[in-house]
């Protein structure tokens, strides 16, 4: 198969867009599509400082690469979860993330072919690393075992911790936006799960942009939400970004992955179904179908750490980690 634009060998064929592209043109297309999503959903502007949550995987590293090539002020946050048994999953993820910063591939800016002006030098972005065991005394599997949350699986303790650390670091370091690498497959699996049980409150809050509705919360954005997982993987490959292939050992066999398998079968039979499911949901949501379910809970400041929490007293994070004094 040949590239639609230049007749080189195509590296990807996107049946739902009826588009095959070579590595070079695919990279350009991916960047342009991301910029369109940023503008369409009004995610952020050029003068904002963006914090990208990077896990060392293909989605978040591709996202960081694209934002840097587009010239955004985008720094990274890696959260070390201490998941290193049986394989050094967390250590390897951090290594891939550090390698990405050291290689600096994004310095090759995306520019129009006819633009021969020299590129302005780009400063290296900052990589913030929060190591959970070093900061809070236990790894995620250890705190999870100690608290027996989530029927023995550490995923709920992990999710709570990641959300807390992301929001807190963004606020403390003065970032107005937090960007995550969620792709279309991630979003559709969650949408499917919420639709199966008509969890209207969750549906009302699932969006490419979650505004910072209250003081103490950061705006959250998902610029890659319209790309299939294979498209973000193809971007990383096309750009030579080395990422961690393994997924978290605790995620293997979970419900979200089961839904992803089901939805992949649907997609094989009917290409474009996932994208249509998601975009039509966003259209309905945009028309206000779920507005009445968007409860604006009253928020309180956690009495220990000052972060926003729905119930008065200590927040869920401080309760789980038995934090009694955090320097504000
Ligand atoms: P996941 O929940 O693992 O599917 O990851 C969804 C998104 O959360 C990723 O694309 C990243 O943006 C972010 N993320 C996941 N794990 C980490 C981590 N350890 N450190 C920083 N960000 C992360
Ligand atoms: Fe958190 Fe797997 S990434 S438990
Ligand atoms: Zn081409
Ligand atoms: Zn707290």
pTM: 0.94
Q: Provide the mean pLDDT of the chain.
A: 91
Confidence label for 328 from pLDDT (cuts 50, 70 and 90): very low
* Secondary-structure class of domain 40-296 per CATH: alpha beta
| Rounded mean pLDDT, 293-311 | 87
Task: Decide which of 238 and 114 is more confident.
Answer: 238
- Residues whose beta carbon lies within 6 Å of some atom of ligand 2: 81, 140, 154-155, 158, 248, 250-251
Percent helix, strand, coil in the chain (nearest 5)?
45, 10, 40
Confidence label for 327 from pLDDT (cuts 50, 70 and 90): very low
User: What angle, 0 to 180 degrees and rounded to 10, lies between the N-to-C axes of helices 229-239 and 23-40?
Assistant: 130
Task: Decide which of 152 and 309 is more confident.
Answer: 309
Residue pair 303/314 in contact (Cβ under 8 Å)? The answer is: yes
**pLDDT beyond 70 at 94:** yes
Confidence label for 322 from pLDDT (cuts 50, 70 and 90): confident
Atom in ligand 2 nearest the alpha carbon of residue 154: 4
Q: How far is 98 from 100, CA to CA, in rounded Å?
A: 5
Beta-bridge partners for 78: 129
Q: pLDDT at position 149, please?
A: 52
Between the CA of 229 and the centroid of ligand 3 the distance, in Å, is: 21
Q: pLDDT at position 323, please?
A: 76
Q: How far is 301 from 233, CA to CA, in rounded Å?
A: 40
Q: What is the maximum span of the chain, computed from C-alpha positions, in angstroms? A: 63
Q: Which residue out of 250, 253, 256 has the highest number of ligand 2 atoms within 8 Å of its CB and is therefore the one to mutate?
A: 250
């Amino acid at each position: 198969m040949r590239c639609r634009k230049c007749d080189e060998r195509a590296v990807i064929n996107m049946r739902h867009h009826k588009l095959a592209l070579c590595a070079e043109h695919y990279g350009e297309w991916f960047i342009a599509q991301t910029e369109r999503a940023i503008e369409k959903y009004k995610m952020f502007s050029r003068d904002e400082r963006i914090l990208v949550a990077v896990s060392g995987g293909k989605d978040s590293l591709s996202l960081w690469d694209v934002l840097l090539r587009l010239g955004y002020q985008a720094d990274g946050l890696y959260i070390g979860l201490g998941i290193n048994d049986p394989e050094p999953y967390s250590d390897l993820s951090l290594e891939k993330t550090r390698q990405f910063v050291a290689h600096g591939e994004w310095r090759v800016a995306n520019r129009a072919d006819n633009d021969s002006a020299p590129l302005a030098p780009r400063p290296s972005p900052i990589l913030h690393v929060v190591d959970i065991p070093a900061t809070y005394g236990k790894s995620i599997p250890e705190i999870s075992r100690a608290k027996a949350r989530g029927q023995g699986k550490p995923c709920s303790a992990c999710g709570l911790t990641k959300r807390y650390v992301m929001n807190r670091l963004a606020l403390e370091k003065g970032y107005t936006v937090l960007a995550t690498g969620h792709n279309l497959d991630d979003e559709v699996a969650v949408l499917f799960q919420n639709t199966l049980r008509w969890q209207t409150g969750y549906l009302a809050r699932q969006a490419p942009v979650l505004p910072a509705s209250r003081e103490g919360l950061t705006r959250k954005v998902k610029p890659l939400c319209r790309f299939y997982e294979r498209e973000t993987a193809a971007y990383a490959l096309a750009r030579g970004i080395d990422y961690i292939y393994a997924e978290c050992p605790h995620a293997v066999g979970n419900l979200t992955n089961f839904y992803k398998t089901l939805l992949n079968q649907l997609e094989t039979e009917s290409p474009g179904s996932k994208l249509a499911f998601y975009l039509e949901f966003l259209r309905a949501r945009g028309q206000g179908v779920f507005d009445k379910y968007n409860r604006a809970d009253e928020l309180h400041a956690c009495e220990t750490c000052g972060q926003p929490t729905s119930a008065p007293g200590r927040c869920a994070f401080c309760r789980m980690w038995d934090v009694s004094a955090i320097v504000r």
